[in-house]
Amino acid sequence: MSNQKKLEIMPLEEHDRGVAAYLMIYSKFNELVGSVRKIETGAAAIKSGIIVKKFYKAVYNGKIVGIASLSDTRSRYLELNYDDVKKQVGIIKAKKIYSVLENIFDVKNIPDGCAYITFPVSSEGDADYVVKALLEYIFSLKKYTEYYTYISKFDSEKRKILEEIGFRVIEDYSLEKASESNKKETNCLLMKYSERF
């Protein structure tokens, strides 16, 4: 990103649903291998379930290059619609894929009253700068005092960015991979940011 001043952070709008859904599936596509074959199919299946008011977008030169959701254990950022999933994958696969999507986008192991953040970023953007800008914006809202997020245990670049911002690893999880054909485990780190650190 050559001119970082052109990056703007603002609330997601209703007409951004498609881009937000695409970025969310794009960021989780490794976990969906064997279940959802195309990013577009997964995006169409979750598009109507996005709770727009829970999201913020990073816009560079008029294009969304990243999004972040801010929710908690009581108010999720995505409410899946079974009929939307069925429309995209058919009746036979719908139940299994609905369950896979529900598992991937669920808010897990977050203490009550704390925030959960997701931040999918486009491959076209400077991930480091976009993630920092999104998270700084969210922290500036001062809606919570503690923030949690999950990342892959093997994503050392994202971990480095988060640790620079002030996140710390709280727990190491092994979650069942969301693929029937590949029963390997997905290794995740639960990370926490607190103003008290």
Q: How confident is the model at residue 183 (pLDDT cuts 50, 70, 90)?
A: very low
Residue pair 95/122 in contact by the 8 Å Cβ criterion: no
Q: Please choose, from the candidates 18, 107, 102, the residue with its C-alpha nearest in 3D space to the C-alpha of residue 69.
A: 107
Per-residue confidence (pLDDT) for residue 169, from 0 to 100: 94
pTM (predicted TM-score)? 0.86
Residues in the chain: 197
Contacts of 169 (CB under 8 A, 6+ apart): 159, 189, 190, 191
**Average pLDDT rounded to a whole number, residues 3-13:** 83
Range scoring the smallest mean pLDDT among 111-120, 124-133, 168-177: 168-177
**87 token code pair:** 């429309």
Can you say whether the dihedral through the CA atoms of 174, 177, 180, 182 is positive or negative? negative
Q: How far is CA 138 from CA 4, 11, 29, 56, 127, in A?
A: 18, 10, 25, 8, 16
Per-residue confidence (pLDDT) for residue 154, from 0 to 100: 85
